[in-house]
Amino acid sequence: MKGKILYGNKIFIKMSGYEESELLGAAHSILRHPEMPKAVFKLLWDRIQNKEEIFAYVKNLCKDGSYYWVLANVTVTLDAQGNPRDYHSVRRKPSAKAMEVIPGLYQKLLDEERSAQEWTAP
């Protein structure tokens, strides 16, 4: 519920470059790439905490410093009482067409976030 990794399939573990034992129990932000706009994660958490799913393009950082893009579908698993039990992310390879658009769009968001930060800095 707070973004700790409980499970990862073999492909996820292989792509990340970490050992399974390094990932289990770690915060999901272990994969956070510095070029990911904050706004994407804000939207992700806003939606799943509201029991809504999200499809989001995510650039992930591997252990060796390389990266990979995914189209993540994050959903909420509810218990029998309808309360959120955990979150589940299924990742797919993004289409070539999406990869023509998304990196440039995220760069614009990142630039906006960085200039807003400078603006508000004391």
Ligand X SMILES: Cc1cc2nc3c(=O)[nH]c(=O)nc-3n(C[C@H](O)[C@H](O)[C@H](O)COP(=O)(O)O)c2cc1C
Residues that bind ligand X (CB under 6 A): 3, 28-29, 31-32, 36, 41, 58, 60, 74, 87, 89
Q: What is the DSSP string of 4-64?
A: B-----HHHHHHHTS-HHHHTTSBGGGGB-TTS-HHHHHHHHHHHHTT--EEEEEEEE-TT
Between 3 and 17, name the residue whose CB sits nearer to ligand X: 3
Between 41 and 71, name the residue whose CB sits nearer to ligand X: 41
Between 87 and 106, name the residue whose CB sits nearer to ligand X: 87
Nearest approach, Cβ of residue 81 and ligand X (Å): 21
Nearest approach, Cβ of residue 70 and ligand X (Å): 7
Between 90 and 105, name the residue whose CB sits nearer to ligand X: 90
Question: CA angle 73-37-10, nearest 5°?
Answer: 40
What residue number has its CB nearest to ligand X? 3
Cβ of 103: how many Cβ atoms within 10 Å? 13
- The alpha carbon torsion through 48, 29, 6, 93 (nearest 10 deg) reads 70
Nearest approach, Cβ of residue 32 and ligand X (Å): 4
